Amino acid sequence: MAGNILGTTVFYNEDCNLEKLRGLKITVLGYGSQGHAHSLNLKDNGMDVTIGLRVGSPSWSKAEEAGFKVKQTSEAVKDADVVMVLTPDETQAEMYEKEVAPYLKDGVYLGFGHGFNIHFNKIVPNEKVNVFMVAPKGPGHLVRRTFTENVGVPCLVAVNQDPSGDTKEVALAWACGIGGGRSGILETSFKQETETDLFGEQAVLCGGVTELIKTGFEVLREAGYDPVNAYFECLHEMKLIVDLMYEGGMAKMRHSISNTAEYGDFLTGPKIITKETKEKMKEVLSDIQSGKFADEFLADSKAGQPFLKKKREEAKAHELELVGKELRSLMSWIK
């Protein structure tokens, strides 16, 4: 039965009704990381799934080989009862305006894997469309693999518009159908999911961690230490630490490391992540909340991604990556 964790409602398989989807015409737009996972998991649950793609998409043949009906986006949307948008954030608004909105029938259930475009009003469905979100808390390959192992990735669900009165039930059925009900489906809002997701990516998981690793590597190299030791200490061992925290929080990690490491953790961490760092994090959150980041990201995408492409090339050429490539070639267990 539905439970409660720190004020958040959590649903499981027994709280969901897959029959809410059975017999409906389901269209999944996109067949990338999340698209292939959602589609295959629902297909394995006996659902009628059609894949919608742009003409010339390299994913077209992959989807057909997996046994799906594949149609051009607008054709896949026509007459669909449920449409799930799982294309990149930066392409959704234009696609929606040209190839989705004109073909949606009244009462359709329109789903998203991330709240970005709905929350920032880049996509504004008419009032006759039911709008929901199912956001797995893991990449698509994990959503698929854990499903085949009879477990699942936790999912977030939210409802933005509900003219039919049962959109939450449809959202729960979708989350259950892709495996989320086996581990937990947590109720949230488009605002909460979008803003916390963007902040986590930028300030901690991606932006914060990668910059910390890179800077630590540079400090050691500039001090004359060899690249192998610098790589191992600043990047390679990160997985060991993160795995411990993933399994049992910071307490398990600190219990597992040496007293020397734990002492250095408490002594030095606050010297690196200072009050000034926290203020910068608050600025990052403010830019996300105001929509400034969304506008900058979409503007860069519209211009052909000059900032993103430049930074990709710079990062690829950094000594850290070159050293890592050499060292990982020796690590047969990674392959």
Q: What positions carry a catalytic annotation?
A: 114
Enumerate the H helices of the chain as residue ranges: 33-44, 60-65, 73-77, 89-95, 116-119, 140-148, 167-177, 190-199, 207-222, 227-231, 238-256, 259-272, 275-290, 292-302, 306-316, 319-328
Q: Which residue from 103, 164, 102, 93 is spatially nearest to 129, judged by alpha carbons?
A: 164
Joined together, the tokens standing for residue 45 give: 């649950």
Strand, coil or helix: 268: helix
Joined together, the tokens standing for residue 334 give: 């990674």
Contacts of residue 15, defined as CB under 8 A and 6 or more positions apart, other chains included, come to 1, 2, 172, 181, 185
Confirm if 49 and 30 have CB atoms less than 8 A apart.
no
How far is the C-alpha of 87 from the C-alpha of 95, rounded, in Å?
A: 9
How many other C-beta atoms are found inside a 10 Å radius of the C-beta of residue 1?
7
Confirm if 10 and 2 have CB atoms less than 8 A apart.
yes
